[in-house]
Amino acid sequence: MAATFGVTCGGDLWPADDIRAVEELGYDGFFTGEHIVYHRPILEAVTTLAFAAAVTSRIRIGPATLLLPLRHPTIVAKEFSCLDVLSGGRVVLTVGVGGDYPREFESCGVPLRDRGRRATEALEIIRKYWSGERFDHAGEIFRLRDVDMLPTPVQPGGIPIWVSGRREGPMRRAARLGDGWHPYMYTPERCRISFQQVKEYAAQAGRTLPGDYVWAVFVYTALDDDPAEARRRAVHEMSYRYDQDFGELVEKYCAYGPPGRLIDYLAPYVEAGVNTFILAPVMPPEHRRRHLERLAAEVLPALRDMEPAAVA
């Protein structure tokens, strides 16, 4: 089965026509990042996804990534169940714990040190809500008694949950509770190693991962026939997004340059086992459609012809 390719707006405001273009050009999904309090303007994920659901009809929609500890799991379960109903069963929920911007946790009244435990309990609770059954939950963080929720998601078994992160805790969470593992800003080799680790952690937890388990990765792309211009644009954009200098990091975390160079950069991910890409395009807003057109026509066909390696 060929890899799938989604596009993220990164929490930026994309007009309806640009979101529709993602669907019209044959991509498989539209995603958005999020922060609640941050150093730059960024849209909240759920409202952005509701807008995307309204202007598309085929592609998957989801966050990449929702900061799960900042929300109560009852609210998350309700919001995404309703999104799934309204979109006709097109939602995926990608969750992470955040922590790179402590001011955000303070503003939401959530202790930073509890974020891992909150995320684990939240996933357990969300799954129970989506079952449609009544349940109790007595955890370290959350205590619920005799609760249930309707409507349940349209998708049988509930909405797929991909766990995002870069460290051992999220990998174990993905192995035990996730339908996919979604690292971000990983090299192909680090992806391969992490995939093996997730599979090992699942075995330790007594779980055999299903054949349709998602092995994803988040990658920036800056498509331009002039590699120097593509690199300059990528450094500028990523430095702005993360509030740090990417002058010496851009090669590690961004595919930039002409189509052939992007193919050479991205192909090793498929060879490492990636079956789902979330691409973050770097381009001037006025050139967004053209960038997406060229990426779809000149880069993705070569990658779709490749078979993702089996995760050993």
Backbone angles phi, psi at 292, to 5 degrees: -65, -35
| Per-residue pLDDT, 173 | 97
| Per-residue pLDDT, 87 | 98
Neighbour-count burial for 120-152, b at 16+ CB within 10 Å, e otherwise: bbbbbbbbbbbeeeebebeeebbeeeeeebeeb
| Per-residue pLDDT, 312 | 83
Q: Which domains, and CATH codes, for the chain?
A: 4-304 (3.20.20.30)
Q: For residue 214, with 0-12 CB atoms within 10 Å meaning exposed, 13-18 middle and 19 or more buried, which class applies?
A: buried
Write the CA distances from 167 to 32, 118, 276, integer angstroms. Answer: 22, 16, 19
**Token pair 């807008």 in the structure block, residue:** 51
- Do strands 143-147 and 214-223 pair parallel, antiparallel, or not at all (unpaired)? unpaired
| Per-residue pLDDT, 193 | 97
Measured between alpha carbons, how far is 24 from 95 in angstroms, rounded to an integer?
A: 27
Q: What is the pTM of this model?
A: 0.96
Measured between alpha carbons, how far is 256 from 37 in angstroms, rounded to an integer?
A: 29
| Per-residue pLDDT, 39 | 94
| Per-residue pLDDT, 1 | 78
Residues of the chain below pLDDT 50:
none
| Per-residue pLDDT, 94 | 98
